[in-house]
Amino acid sequence: MIQGKNKKTNACIDWYWQTYIDGELVSEEYVFTTCEGEEVECDAIGQRDRKGILKIKMACGGNQGGGDDPNTVLLDSINAKPCNAMTYADQMDYIQTISNMNNGNCLQKALLHAFNDLGKQVTVCKGSTVNGAIAQTDYYSNTITWNSNLSFYEKTLDEEFFHNIQFGTYGNVNDHANIEFEAAIMCDMIQTSANYTAMDQQSTSVRNEYSTWLKSITNNGNSFPKSFTEMFPDDTAKQTYFYFLEKYRDQYQPGDSHYSPINYNLLPTAIFKVTSKSCN
């Protein structure tokens, strides 16, 4: 993380969220304006994604004008607030990510609604995670801990919000392979494209099989199964689901929580808490 200050007197400065990919500015969004010698502290938050592409976000803090703070209004729409211990830049990074999710597709918005329907207030903080994980959820302490070395991004926030929905549906189960695979499907459905990641470490043939299956149950990403009978009309559909669950688990090594024994009696139902609210 890089920190710096920008001070300019007798003039005004417009501040923007800027996103860079491999050194190239790809997007920017106006945040606020500072004037007359106000000091503003900026943080650059960098992270490489799973494909090794470097992404950098800029966050700046300073005095803002009167009226309703749009960040407060935005956070009122989600029952997951950043903790006070986070830096201003990290809080702004989180807020911007939530803003992107609020402006996402129908299924992503449905995920936020289903999360809010849990009726619980969750606190999001940065800190140490087990085995350096990107993030982890503690449903019973109402916390999401984000790896302090990483910036926030949508896919993993989608996953952590969905984990809360799973805990609210199944309770404190130990069937991690089942839980993680269902969450991976949820995230891939939100992608609504062929860029699915649940089988990233599998063979090309398995990845293609999985992609074909997911497209078949989502009408090529245009609609989503909203009930158990819609997703599992017969035993063959259940067998296919567990076939891919086995392939998902086999990407991990014994000792990893994702490699836990499969519970063949636990079929995904938390996913319908989200899809039933989607507009497609």
What are the tens digits of pLDDT across the range 230-258? 999 999 999 999 999 999 999 999 988 89
Q: Where are the alpha helices (DSSP H) in 52-193?
A: 70-75, 88-102, 106-116, 154-170, 176-191
Task: Provide φ and ψ at 17, rounded to 5°.
Answer: -75, 125
CA atoms of 239 and 232, how far apart (whole Å): 9
Domain limits for position 212: 173-275
- Domain end, chosen from 125, 143, 170, is at 170
pTM > 0.75: yes or no: yes
Q: Which two tokens stand for residue 72?
A: 């407060």
Spatial distance between the Cα atoms of 126 and 258, rounded to a whole number of angstroms:
23
Distance of CA 171 to the CA centre of its chain: 21
Answer whether residue 280 is part of any domain: no
Domain count across the chain: 3
Q: Which of 106, 85, 128 is nearest to 218 (CA)?
A: 106
Contact (Cβ atoms closer than 8 angstroms) between residue 161 and residue 112: yes
CATH of the domain at 86: 3.30.2410
Q: What is the pLDDT of residues 135-194, one digit of tens each?
A: 999 999 999 999 999 999 899 999 999 999 999 999 988 899 999 999 999 999 998 666
Mean pLDDT of the chain: 83
